[in-house]
A and B are shown apart, each in its own frame.
Chain A
Amino acid sequence: MAKTKWIAGLICAALLAGGAHAQTPDAAALDRMSAAELLPHALKEGKVTVYAFTSRIAQIEKAFEAAYPGIDVVPLDISSTQMIARLKAEAQAGIVNADVAYVSDAPVVLNELLPRGTLIRYVPPDIAARVPAAFASPLLANRLSTKVVMYNEEANPNGAPIANLWDLTKPEWKGKVVMVDPSLRGDYLDFMTEIVLRAPEMEKAYAAAFGKPWVKGKNANAGEDWIAALYANQPVLVRNTDAVNDAVGKKGQARPPVGITTYSDRRDNAKENRALQVANAIEPSPGILFPAYLALAKGTRNPAASRLLIRFMMGDDTPAGGPGFAPFYVAGDYATRTDIEQPKDAIGLDAFRAWRMDPVKSAKIRADVADFILSLK
């Protein structure tokens, strides 16, 4: 008797599972759906967890829940470096916490997470034609973010107090350069890696700064030399970009430091009483532009809601991208969508001199640069 019940239970469970399966379309079908078609499935799921490398995800949560009541967004604001470590650990453990990852650190993402299938590419069908191929593959990016040299505009009304990256290694900037420890934050490591990759340009800039040609010493190239010289000049390493922004940007400072931070953090200048500005003219370049990827997590239990969230974060059809893109529609962030207008009072992407990083080349030497930096200090 007990045995019969058992078997009946099993059959019921199998039927239920089968039924559920019939209701949820497979990944390929979901990939082809529009937002309107995704919605009923997403509502059934009712929830989507997103790991994001920006605190602006809190605004996305609100906007999404207002646009799609009944679907709960669970955000985790975590640095890309920690997110990658976490996604790897979870993949290894075979557990799925995240549905969507909003992540930078392209060299690690493209060379470790994507090949292992930990993250999966998804491009909403109506977006594909509106994003240049370079930003839709191998993963979709919704914007380009930055790590660039910035200064205090109030204290330097005539423009940046530095003209060359090598200036940061001179005595007058000793203890006056603020940044986050590249051992802890991937975007800062990417900045340093790009400096090493651009060694020939750093050589030229050296000659411009010191009036004599660069000569190879114990370091491999001019890029490594610059990093070593910067560290010898006692930079202030802080916990997060907010601390950089305050140190550099706070108004009322007689001789504020300069720092490496995010161009778009200018958006908070008024609110935070800051005067941050990018040193765009600096030789050879103010820093790096890097993609912010939106990807599905492997094994997501909310495949429709996660796709809907990604579609939402790519922006709607209004010129500024609407509420889903609003947190990123700020001077200093560059939408990858060609049909989103650029915000006013930002340097246009064409005139912006930051380097666009090459994730593949970066990935090859990134660990080595990280150890090089660890060996300094």
Chain B
Amino acid sequence: MSSVAIAASFRRAASPSSALAVGLVLVAVLGVLIVAPLATIALQTVDDGKGFSVWQQVFAGRIAQNVLWTPLLNTVVIGVVAALASVAIGGVLAWLVVLTDLPFRRAVAVASALPFMIPSFAAAFAWGAVFRNEKVGGEVGLLTELGMAVPDWLSWGMVPTLIVLAAHYYSLAFLLIAAALASVNADLIEAAEMTGAPPGRVFLAVTLPVVAPAILSALSLAFAGAVSNFAAPAILGLPAGLQTLSTRLYGAISTGQSERGYVLAIVLVLIAGIILWSANRVLAGRRSFATISGKGGRKRRFALGRLRWPAFAAAGFVLFATTLAPIAVLVLSSLTLRSGDMGAGLTLHFWIGAADPAIAQGQAGILRNAETIRAVLLTFAFAACVAVLSMGLGLAIAYAVSRLKRHAIGGLLNQFAFLPALVPGIAFGAAYIALFGAPIGPFPALYGTFALLVIAGTAYTLPFTVQAGRGAMEQVADEIEDSARMTGASFPRRLFAIFLPLTIRSLLAGGVLTFVKIVRDLSLVLLLFTPTTPVLSVLAYRYASEGFPQMGNAITVLITLVAVVSTLLAQHLQGKAEPWLDEDGR
């Protein structure tokens, strides 16, 4: 196709009727990427004359209690408690940073955003490296090695799983609530105080209504994240017999009982989906209420007085325990000859050692091991491809949705693109195996191919990239584009002369964050992993569960470093300092 033809097609795409055509094409693409896999898992539980026998077994058979009901109860408990704890910790931190005179508020704010970038399996491995006791055999953690008796409830099961998940998701709650608190109108607070309202009443009547939507959305996102998390319950709960829907789902599919796994996947999708969907409904109804605040004056900070330093110490402890400590533990543990046993000497073997039959069954260190190096390259290539494709597709969808605002197709597109956000990664992976595990008509099966990873990753990250695309488009004022259009600028010209230069930084930032999402993901790729497509996170999980914790921890350190550095890069690109700190002028 010549450049003239491309330009022509873009011009067509820009006219309303062809916007519809583009919208239809995108709907078809999302149909294949998102709707078809989800429909397939549902179908596969009932086809081949099975009827509802699998559903009957899982819901009412003799296995029902252990395969569905107990894991379901565990899952819901984990979701509720982790969400409440996350919002409590994140909310207090946000309040301290935004509304009080806490010392070192900037550093606290930066550190509070970090735990969400550290993969949850890193925190789980780190917990094990410190607290693991002898209950399930294998290598023990630091405390046991030092001769301390670690009780079972602290080593394994619900408590450590909850702590690790709360340590991960409080960071998300912090970001959402801090942003909302920053928008609290200082004039309103002042007015309330001047008319004699006590602080408690000011909080209930002024502050809370403004941050309530943020709290609700933090609760729902932390809940959905925690119920679908695989790493924490698998690493810390499973050895003590704690099963959740995600660990049961993985167990069923990896031992060849796919249909039962698919039933569990559907249950998981419904639980996460219903909560997120209803939270969205409530928020949609309240949005007008949350945005009435105008431009407020300079904020007066609540003086902590004598509690200033104790509060800082508490915040500092939480942040240290959830950021530096786990990373330090993982690094240290990857350097020990026997995990947790500093006395046996330190070694770089698990990083750079040559194969030695006496250590780790003769496997070479991760930077010298053909398998892990291949996994590093493949994982980065995979994440980069997803970042580019998903960002491109996300932008296209955001554009089409904005052009088709009042059209049914626009609405449909919006709904489809949001769908993956409701589907836990592990269930999404299951759906992709179900659909692409066998040839479809003339198309070969994609199982075990790089392409399948990229397609699944792209679809999985779309809710985020569509959002990022929409954000980027909003940066370009309609007037600029309109005037360019009226002076006869073609679509490509408007794209390259106006749109891209204005938005390139935020598009890049969106791409980098998508890259991070993929690099640190375990649940989506867990079931898509094959020897031909070794992804780092799954490799780390396999090493750790097969009794080579040092190699698992070394890989996890690598992933964490890449994730944190990339995220900081993305924040730099966005040039977005925390708005709740800016007004101080410090």
Which residues of A, 79-128, contact B by the 8 Å Cβ criterion? 81-82, 84-86, 88-90, 92-95, 97, 108
Which residues of A, 226-241, contact B by the 8 Å Cβ criterion? 236-240
Contact status A246-B531, CB under 8 Å: no
- In the complex, identify which listed stretch (A35-43, A279-287, A369-377) lies at the interface while the others stay far away: A369-377
Residues of B close to A374: CB separation below 8 A: 62-63, 66-67
Residues of A close to B547: CB separation below 8 A: 239-240, 242-243
Residues of B close to A244: CB separation below 8 A: 137
Chain B: minimal CB distance from A316 (Å): 20
Chain A: minimal CB distance from B455 (Å): 15
Q: Give which listed residue, A49, A51, A82, contacts B254 with CB less than 8 A.
A: A82
Contact status A238-B137, CB under 8 Å: yes
Number of A-B contacts (CB under 8 A): 112
Instruction: State whether the Cβ of B485 lies closer than 8 Å to any Cβ in chain A.
Output: no
Give Cα distance in the complex from A236 to B241, angstroms.
Answer: 9
Instruction: State whether the Cβ of A209 lies closer than 8 Å to any Cβ in chain B.
Output: no
Contact status A85-B253, CB under 8 Å: yes
Instruction: State whether the Cβ of B331 lies closer than 8 Å to any Cβ in chain A.
Output: no
Residues 40-69 of chain B, each 1 if its beta carbon lies under 8 Å from chain A, else 0:
000000000000000001000111011100
Chain B: minimal CB distance from A269 (Å): 15
Residues 297-326 of chain A, each 1 if its beta carbon lies under 8 Å from chain B, else 0:
000000000000000000000000000000
Residues 147-177 of chain A, each 1 if its beta carbon lies under 8 Å from chain B, else 0:
0000000000000000000000000000000
Contact status B255-A183, CB under 8 Å: yes
Contact A243 to B136, CB < 8 A, known contacts A82-B255, A85-B255, A89-B433: yes
Instruction: State whether the Cβ of A247 lies closer than 8 Å to any Cβ in chain B.
Output: yes
Which residues of B, 127-143, contact A by the 8 Å Cβ criterion? 134-138
Give Cα distance in the complex from A94 to B449, angstroms.
Answer: 12
- In the complex, identify which listed stretch (A3-11, A26-34, A55-63, A342-350) lies at the interface while the others stay far away: A55-63
Residues of B close to A271: CB separation below 8 A: 358
Residues of A close to B361: CB separation below 8 A: 55-56, 58
Instruction: State whether the Cβ of B209 lies closer than 8 Å to any Cβ in chain A.
Output: no
Instruction: State whether the Cβ of A199 lies closer than 8 Å to any Cβ in chain B.
Output: no
Residues 333-358 of chain B, each 1 if its beta carbon lies under 8 Å from chain A, else 0:
00000000000000000000001011
Residues of A close to B255: CB separation below 8 A: 81-82, 85, 183-184
Residues of B close to A246: CB separation below 8 A: 137-138
Contact A94 to B445, CB < 8 A, known contacts A184-B251, A239-B545, A375-B66: yes
Instruction: State whether the Cβ of B256 lies closer than 8 Å to any Cβ in chain A.
Output: yes
Instruction: State whether the Cβ of A178 lies closer than 8 Å to any Cβ in chain B.
Output: yes
Contact status B532-A238, CB under 8 Å: no
Contact status B66-A236, CB under 8 Å: no
* Closest A residue by C-beta to B371: A74
Instruction: State whether the Cβ of A331 lies closer than 8 Å to any Cβ in chain B.
Output: no
Q: Give which listed residue, B138, B256, B362, B439, contacts A242 with CB less than 8 A.
A: B138
* Closest B residue by C-beta to A92: B438
Give Cα distance in the complex from A247 to B239, angstroms.
Answer: 13
Contact status B137-A88, CB under 8 Å: no
Give Cα distance in the complex from A242 to B447, angstroms.
Answer: 31
Contact status B531-A49, CB under 8 Å: yes
Residues of A close to B445: CB separation below 8 A: 92-95
Chain A: minimal CB distance from B252 (Å): 9
Give Cα distance in the complex from A238 to B547, angstroms.
Answer: 11
Instruction: State whether the Cβ of B415 lies closer than 8 Å to any Cβ in chain A.
Output: no
Give Cα distance in the complex from A49 to B534, angstroms.
Answer: 15
Give Cα distance in the complex from A76 to B531, angstroms.
Answer: 7
Residues of A close to B136: CB separation below 8 A: 236, 238-239, 243, 247
Contact A95 to B447, CB < 8 A, known contacts A85-B255, A86-B530, A244-B137: yes
Instruction: State whether the Cβ of B553 lies closer than 8 Å to any Cβ in chain A.
Output: no
Give Cα distance in the complex from A98 to B379, angstroms.
Answer: 22
Report the interface size class on chain A: 35 or more
Chain A: minimal CB distance from B443 (Å): 11
Residues of B close to A85: CB separation below 8 A: 253-256
* Closest A residue by C-beta to B531: A76
* Closest A residue by C-beta to B547: A242
Give Cα distance in the complex from A74 to B371, angstroms.
Answer: 9
Give Cα distance in the complex from A59 to B65, angstroms.
Answer: 43
Chain A: minimal CB distance from B244 (Å): 15
Give Cα distance in the complex from A165 to B361, angstroms.
Answer: 33
Contact status B448-A95, CB under 8 Å: yes
Instruction: State whether the Cβ of B183 lies closer than 8 Å to any Cβ in chain A.
Output: no
Residues of B close to A92: CB separation below 8 A: 437-438, 445, 447
Contact status A371-B256, CB under 8 Å: no
Q: Give which listed residue, A74, A90, A243, A375, contacts B65 with CB less than 8 A.
A: A375
Which residues of B, 231-271, contact A by the 8 Å Cβ criterion? 238-239, 241, 251, 253-256
Give Cα distance in the complex from A237 to B156, angstroms.
Answer: 13
Q: Give which listed residue, A93, A108, A243, A375, contacts B62 with CB less than 8 A.
A: A375
Which residues of B, 545-581, contact A by the 8 Å Cβ criterion? 545-547
Contact status A94-B531, CB under 8 Å: no
Residues of B close to A49: CB separation below 8 A: 531
* Closest B residue by C-beta to A257: B137
Residues of B close to A237: CB separation below 8 A: 239, 241
Chain A: minimal CB distance from B171 (Å): 29
Contact status A97-B362, CB under 8 Å: no
Residues of B close to A45: CB separation below 8 A: none
Chain B: minimal CB distance from A202 (Å): 21
Give Cα distance in the complex from A307 to B222, angstroms.
Answer: 53
Contact A93 to B447, CB < 8 A, known contacts A76-B531, A77-B546: yes
Chain A: minimal CB distance from B341 (Å): 12
Which of the listed residues A62, A242, A245, A374 has the most CB atoms from chain B within 10 Å of its own CB?
A374
Instruction: State whether the Cβ of B285 lies closer than 8 Å to any Cβ in chain A.
Output: no
Give Cα distance in the complex from A237 to B238, angstroms.
Answer: 9
* Closest A residue by C-beta to B363: A58
Residues of A close to B546: CB separation below 8 A: 55, 77, 239-240
Give Cα distance in the complex from A236 to B138, angstroms.
Answer: 13
Give Cα distance in the complex from A81 to B257, angstroms.
Answer: 11
What would 27 A/B residue contacts be, using CB atoms closer than 8 Å? A51-B531, A58-B362, A59-B357, A77-B546, A84-B256, A92-B438, A92-B445, A92-B447, A93-B438, A93-B446, A95-B449, A108-B256, A178-B137, A184-B255, A238-B136, A239-B238, A239-B545, A240-B547, A245-B137, A246-B137, A247-B134, A247-B136, A271-B358, A374-B63, A375-B66, A377-B66, A377-B241
- Give the 5 A-B CB pairs with smallest separation, nearest first: A93-B445, A247-B137, A243-B137, A93-B447, A375-B62
